């Protein structure tokens, strides 16, 4: 399956996501088409996770989601694993804040990598 976002980037001549600017708004529509396609493909049995509020949207709540409304898409049956990953990350960050560390790049990167490995789709918003 080819993603709509990839097709749109190719149409715009973008090879590197770092070259995307706020003028490439059509990429947001492509991301929404990909999310809607996943909804159809999985019969609505997907969830989305918004960073950094950690809000979870389910099934049809994801259809035509607003820009930046969701960060990752997962299969519905992964919800427990996603919630555990979020709670572990929150606990780790809270422990670090208690000792005066405002932000830990390494543990945050590990958390994001973990989510990326589990995700069906990593949303790209402009």
The sign of the dihedral angle between the CA atoms of 36, 37, 40, 43 is negative
Q: Say what the pTM is.
A: 0.91
Which portions of the chain are predicted below pLDDT 70? Answer: none
CB contact set of 79 (below 8 Å; sequence gap of 6+): 47, 56
- Tell me the pLDDT tens digit for each residue of 94-118: 999 899 887 788 999 999 999 999 9
Q: Please say whether the beta carbons of 73 and 46 come within 8 A.
A: yes
Quote the CA–CA distance of 4 and 106 in Å, as a whole number: 32
Contacts of 33 (CB under 8 A, 6+ apart): 4
Query: What pLDDT score was predicted for residue 6?
Result: 96
Q: How many domains, the chain? A: 1
**Contact criterion met (CB below 8 Å) for 49 and 84:** no
Q: What domain range is 100 assigned to?
A: 4-122
């Amino acid at each position: 399956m080819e993603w709509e976002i990839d097709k749109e980037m190719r149409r715009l001549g973008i090879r590197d996501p770092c070259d995307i600017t706020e003028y490439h708004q059509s990429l947001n529509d492509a991301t929404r088409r990909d999310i809607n396609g996943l909804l159809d493909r999985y019969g609505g049995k997907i969830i989305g996770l918004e960073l950094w509020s950690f809000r979870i949207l389910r099934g049809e709540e994801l259809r035509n989601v607003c820009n930046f409304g969701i960060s990752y898409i997962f299969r519905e049956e992964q919800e427990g694993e996603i919630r555990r990953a979020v709670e572990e990350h929150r606990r780790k960050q809270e422990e670090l804040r208690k000792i005066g560390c405002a932000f830990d790049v390494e543990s945050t990167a590990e958390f994001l990598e973990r989510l990326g490995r589990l995700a069906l789709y990593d949303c790209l918003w402009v």
